[in-house]
Structure 1
Amino acid sequence: MDTYVRFCALVVSISLALNCLGSVAQLLPEEEVNVLKTISSKLQNKYWNGISRASCREGKGFNKTVYDKIFSNVTCDCSFNSNSICHVVIIQLKGLSMTGILPPEFAELTHLRELDLSRNYLNGSIPSSYGKLRVTILSLLGNRISGPIPKELGDIETLEELNLENNLLEGPLPTNLGSLSRLRKM
């Protein structure tokens, strides 16, 4: 009987070891973590405490719902490099009373598909670097953003929805926004 128990323990140990070897660590790249930390600091975002390479394990992000339409949502896609690398694909910071200027560092998140900073107290102008974004949705609704709309937003060929309502923007819409073939809601 003692041999049987040792055999079973060995089988369980081998099974656990193989299971651990088979699982893949799903991590954010260090440079993406640093960009997120910079953005969080600039926005004085208390909802992103403890951002690390492991913040997106299993495609989960770091999310916090305060009330129904007041929340911080960061969604990750962990399908890169044989499911071992994650990238942030959605950032929604809605109604969180965040202050400060719009961080140009959002443009460094090359896999970002949606950026929604609606209903905060963000001010300053829209960085021209946002023209590098490859988002389908860009919403800056209900902030205190001022100045002209940068023509570089017309370079976002993937853009389907653009919401800049209820801000202090001035001047005409950039003409190249009209040539965005996917833009269906503005």
Structure 2
Amino acid sequence: MNGTIGCNCSIADDKFCHITSFEVKGYDLSGRLPPDLANLTYVQTIDFTRNNLYGTIPVEWASMKNLSFISLTANRLSRNIPGYLGNFTGLTYLNLESNQFSGVVPPELGKLASLKTLILSSNKLVGTLPEALAQIKNLTDFRVSDNNLNGTVPEFIGSWTQLRRLGLCATGLQGPIPRAIFLLEKLKDLRITDTSGPEFPLQENGSLNCLTNLCLVVRVLRKINLNGTIPDEAWSVVTTLDLTFNKLVGELPLDKTRRQFTFLSGNMLTGTVPELFIQNNQYL
């Protein structure tokens, strides 16, 4: 459990200390989110992670001009994600993961020009990812895994040039994976899994970039209809490479080494398993 109320006695030109953060995590709190927090006009952070709260996000919070961080992970919030979140113009961090939100991703979120982190994973969201999200130019972390979306993986994700982490695991979206995503130069953590659609090889569509870019340390491309052989570039130094449950063929190189974890199950590979893979149980 973690409960913290942060104060700042020099944030305003008066003689008072003002609450700047309200963090109550893992207390099993029940009830609805309190709209009265809007009276704390200097609050920058609201964090109710791992509680038992239900309902939705109070519209009153939009009046909090200093509010930049909202985390409501692992609660029982439900109904549609409210479109009026687009009025929370100071937000840089929004995490609604592991709730019961349904309906579509509201296009109004595209108004959050300062947003750097948007996490919507593990809800019951449907529909396509709205084109309006392309307006968020500063995103560094976007995760929408474990939902019931439809349509294809949108091209506009490739326009988020600041992106460092992307999670599209079991979203319901279909491939092919847009080439522009594989060309994002700042990505460190790329996880795309369980997309249907046309087959494509690692050697084409720009996907080699995600294998050779040394900024990337986690590369999960599981069950996304990859075919062809695994190129030599795939064995560059990374932490994790997961290419499981695709349609890859060919042999594993005998003279390449890797660090940490490699997962290749569920393909159609042939030939001899290199001794390195047998001796090191981190290779699966």
Same fold (TM over 0.5): yes
In structure 2, what is the equivalent of residue 173 of structure 1?
Answer: 177
In structure 1, what is the equivalent of residue 212 of structure 2?
Answer: none
Gaps of 5+ in 2: 1-11, 20-30, 70-88, 191-284
Listed one character per residue, the Cα deviations across residues 38-89 of structure 1 (whole Å, up to 9, x for unaligned) are: xxxxxxxx9656388656624222635326xxxx9x99449xxxxxxx8211
SS at match of 1:170: coil
Q: Work out which structure has the larger RCO, using CA pairs closer than 8 Å and 6 or more positions apart in sequence.
A: 1
Which residues in structure 2 correspond to 1:29-178 (within 5 Å)? Answer: 50=35, 57-61=42-46, 63-66=48-51, 76-77=67-68, 87-133=90-136, 134-178=138-182
Measure how far apart 1:25 and its partner are.
Answer: 8.6
Q: Using the alignment, how far apart are the partners of 2:96 and 2:32 within structure 1?
A: 9
SS at match of 2:132: helix
Matched letter for residue 61 of structure 1? I
Measure how far apart 1:129 and its partner are.
Answer: 1.8
- Which of 14, 23, 27 aligns to 1:21? It is 14
Matched letter for residue 35 of structure 2? G
Distance 1:102 1:49, change over 3 A: farther
Q: Using the alignment, how far apart are the partners of 1:128 and 1:60 within structure 2?
A: 28
SS at match of 1:61: strand
Measure how far apart 1:169 and its partner are.
Answer: 1.1
- TM norm structure 2: 0.42
Cα RMSD (Å) of the superposition? 3.4
Distance 1:109 1:52, change over 3 A: farther
Q: Using the alignment, how far apart are the partners of 1:109 and 1:56 within structure 2?
A: 19
Q: Using the alignment, how far apart are the partners of 1:56 and 1:128 within structure 2?
A: 32
In structure 2, what is the equivalent of residue 40 of structure 1?
Answer: none
CA contact (8 A) 1:143 1:166 kept: yes
CA contact (8 A) 2:126 2:149 kept: yes
CA contact (8 A) 2:68 2:93 kept: no
Q: Using the alignment, how far apart are the partners of 1:97 and 1:113 within structure 2?
A: 23
Distance 1:173 1:49, change over 3 A: farther
Structure (1 or 2) with the greater helix fraction: 1
SS at match of 2:96: strand
Number of residues paired by the alignment?
138
Q: Using the alignment, how far apart are the partners of 1:166 and 1:141 within structure 2?
A: 6
Query: Which of 57-66 and 121-130 deviates more?
Result: 57-66
CA contact (8 A) 1:143 1:167 kept: yes
Q: Using the alignment, how far apart are the partners of 1:51 and 1:103 within structure 2?
A: 25
CA contact (8 A) 2:143 2:168 kept: yes
SS at match of 1:126: coil
Q: Using the alignment, how far apart are the partners of 1:158 and 1:92 within structure 2?
A: 18
Q: Using the alignment, how far apart are the partners of 2:161 and 2:149 within structure 1?
A: 23
SS at match of 2:92: strand
Distance 1:47 1:57, change over 3 A: farther
